[in-house]
Amino acid sequence: MNPVTIGPHYCGRGQSLLVIAGPCVIETEELTLSIALSLKKISDELSLPLIFKASFDKANRTSVDAYRGPGMSKGLAILARVKQSTSLPVTTDIHLPEQAGPAAEVCDLLQIPAFLARQTDLLVAAAHTGRPVHVKKGQFLAPWDMKHVVGKLQASGCQNILLGERGSFFGYGRLVNDMRCIPQMQSLGVPVIFDATHSVQEPGGLGASTGGNRDMVEPLARAAIAIGADGLFLETHPLPDCSPSDGPNMIPLDQFAAILRRLLHLRRAVEEIS
């Protein structure tokens, strides 16, 4: 259970820092594959275990008019192409129990969005696929409440469980990180991923869409590594400000490798004193 196995990678005690990275949402096959190939190159250069992430549907957009993605059938086909072309493990969000099975046929890891962390039927369906499951802590949940999420997954047969920290509501339109959440959730016996890009969101901050401050991504990721996070979740895009989803939070792709090098340098320092 700790460490957990995800495709060819391991995450948790005594393992290398795991990175889950990719664009927020699938736009076109060409763009998605281009980003994945860039991340594959970075992964190889840094000897870094990396899982490619992109969503086929963003079901919790602020506005009804917001772009959601290509849908499950087309989106999973694109993720299958990414996996075939890059050999990277892939992951995506699921929002409904009936999406778990089809997603598991393609994805090495299933991701449960923070707003759905308590949805029992969704957790059970994900567990029954036999795939590892990454559940992001709800912005409204205390870290110790995630023991019930872990319990639901374990009771349904899932032992490869990751929990994600992505900030907590602090008034309206703002998230803050309590870094104590990371060791507190690790005490449940599972590895913890720090979601650095969603942690800088400002929900509804742009009126009809979510705002954010990407300048805070690296400082928060440094803090998470310093306190012992097992992995990082980082969204990236060649032109974040042109992305139809979460642009203000994403790291420009041409800055991604340099940021990871700095974070890995810090990780090595933390390992030396642990």
Please check whether residue 261 is in contact with residue 47, taking contact to mean a CB–CB distance below 8 angstroms: no
DSSP code string of 31-86: HHHHHHHHHHHHHHHHT--EEEE-BS--TT-SSTTS---S-HHHHHHHHHHHHHHH
66 falls in which pLDDT band (50, 70, 90)? confident
75 falls in which pLDDT band (50, 70, 90)? very high
Please give the Cα distance from 167 to 115 (Å, whole number).
12
In this prediction, residues 243-268 reach a mean pLDDT of 94
Q: Where are the domains of the chain?
A: 4-273
User: Residue 35: CB partners within 8 Å, gap ≥ 6?
Assistant: 22, 23, 54, 236, 237, 238, 253
In this prediction, residues 134-153 reach a mean pLDDT of 97
Question: Given this model, what pLDDT does residue 55 score?
Answer: 96
61 falls in which pLDDT band (50, 70, 90)? low
Please check whether residue 152 is in contact with residue 128, taking contact to mean a CB–CB distance below 8 angstroms: no
User: Residue 61: CB partners within 8 Å, gap ≥ 6?
Assistant: 67, 68, 209, 245
pLDDT value at 208 more than 60: no
SS3 for 155?
helix
Tell me the longest C-alpha to C-alpha distance in the chain. 50
Question: Given this model, what pLDDT does residue 211 score?
Answer: 63
210 falls in which pLDDT band (50, 70, 90)? low
Which CATH number is 4-273 given? 3.20.20.70
Please give the Cα distance from 256 to 271 (Å, whole number).
22
Between 44 and 62, residue with greater pLDDT: 44
The whole-model pTM stands at 0.95
Question: Given this model, what pLDDT does residue 9 score?
Answer: 97
CB environment 206-234: b (16+ within 10 A), e (fewer)? eeebbbbebeebbebbbbbbebbbbbbbb
